Amino acid sequence: MNDVDSVADVIAVACLLVGAFFCLTAGVGLVRFPDVLSRMHAGTKPQVVGVLLIMTGSAIRLVGSSVIWMLLLVAAFQLLTAPVSAHMVSRIAYRRRHVRRDLLLVDELGGGPDLYRGDEPADAPPEEPAQAFVESQPDQGTGAGDGKA
């Protein structure tokens, strides 16, 4: 255990403390926010800032060794992968109607005559399983439509 003895160490410790505070903020938002989209907002954005600050503090503390490039790699991976995973989770959440539509300010995919309501949550039992099964088969629907037309 080494002591804090220079200005760089003070900066590093400040970065570590602020980064840990951002991680705590992510946890609080994850518990208190109402639906999947806002929880994901809380779980990704302060998280990335906290990890970047902690990697910066660690790199300042570990200067002189060869693992700084690995810390930089972790930060770059975090910046690259957090938007991708957040996008995929939010897309699936919108399609499965895990969105509180009364809390949305802007819904660019909904509204208008053809409201895109999304799919039913497939792990929950559907209200009418027979009709849901028929609607999940696209070939039968198109065949019936072509026959009538």
Partner 1 sequence: MTVVSVLTFAMLGGGVLLSLVRLARGPSLLDRVVATDALLVIISAGMAVFAALTRNPTVVPVLVVVSLLGFVGSVSVARYIGGMLLESANDGRPAAAEAGTAEPAGAAEPAAAGRTTTEGDRT
Which 72-91 residues touch partner 1, going by CB under 8 A?
73-74, 77-78, 81, 84-85, 88-89, 91
Rg of the chain (C-alpha set): 24
Member of 6, 65, 127, 130 binding partner 1 (CB under 8 A): 65
List C-alpha distances in Å: 47 to 9, 38, 139.
23, 14, 44
Our finding on whether 11 is near partner 1 (CB under 8 A) is no
First to last CA, the chain: 80
Our finding on whether 149 is near partner 1 (CB under 8 A) is yes
Using CB under 8 A as the binding rule, the residues of this chain from 88 to 107 that contact partner 1 are: 88-89, 91-93, 95-96, 98
Yes or no: say if 41 and 24 are a contact pair by the CB < 8 Å rule.
no
Member of 8, 11, 28, 111 binding partner 1 (CB under 8 A): 28
Between CA 76 and CA 12 the distance in angstroms is: 19
Minimal distance, residue 83 CB to partner 1, in Å:
11
Our finding on whether 70 is near partner 1 (CB under 8 A) is yes
Member of 11, 103, 120, 128 binding partner 1 (CB under 8 A): 120
Between CA 20 and CA 131 the distance in angstroms is: 50
Minimal distance, residue 46 CB to partner 1, in Å:
10
Our finding on whether 49 is near partner 1 (CB under 8 A) is no
Member of 101, 103, 111, 141 binding partner 1 (CB under 8 A): 141
Our finding on whether 8 is near partner 1 (CB under 8 A) is no
| Listed residue (36, 42, 40) closest to 93, CA to CA | 36
Between CA 103 and CA 85 the distance in angstroms is: 23
Yes or no: say if 77 and 85 are a contact pair by the CB < 8 Å rule.
no
